[in-house]
Amino acid sequence: MLCSNCTSLPLPTNVAGTCRKCGAHTEYFAYKLCTDCSEGLDQCERCEVPLSAPASPVQRPGSTVLQVIVTDTDNGKVISGMHNGEEVVVRLEEDQYSQTEWGMKNQMAVMHMLRLKANNGFTPYPGQYQKGTRELVFEIIATGQCKLDLEEKVRAYSWYSRSATPSTTPAPNGKAWAVTIKAT
Is 12's pLDDT higher than 50? yes
Annotated domain spans of the chain: 4-183
How far apart are the C-alpha atoms of 18 and 184, rounded to whole Å? 41
Average pLDDT over residues 72-92: 90
DSSP 77-135: -EEEEE-TT-EEEEEEEEEGGGTEEEEES-GGGTTTTEEEEEEEEEEEETTEEEEEEEE
Whether the predicted pLDDT of 109 surpasses 80? no
Question: What is the CA angle 144-93-88, rounded to 5?
Answer: 25
pLDDT score recorded for residue 175? 93
Give the whole-angstrom CA distance, residue 167 versus residue 34.
Answer: 19
- Mean pLDDT of all residues in the chain? 80
pLDDT at 64: 55
Mean predicted confidence (pLDDT) in 91-96: 89
pLDDT of res. 157: 54
Structure confidence at residue 156 (pLDDT):
65
128-180 tens-digit pLDDT:
878 889 898 899 999 999 999 999 988 765 454 444 455 568 888 889 999 99
Q: Output the pLDDT for position 68.
A: 85
Q: Which helix (H) or strand (E) segment is 140 a member of?
A: strand 128-140
**Domain 4-183 fold:** Immunoglobulin-like (2.60.40)
Highest-pLDDT range among 34-43, 68-77, 158-167: 68-77
- Distance CA(147)–CA(169), nearest Å, equals 20
Q: 3: which DSSP letter?
A: -
pLDDT at 55: 39
Distance CA 169, CA 151 (A): 10
Residue of 39, 34, 3 whose CA lies nearest to 16: 34
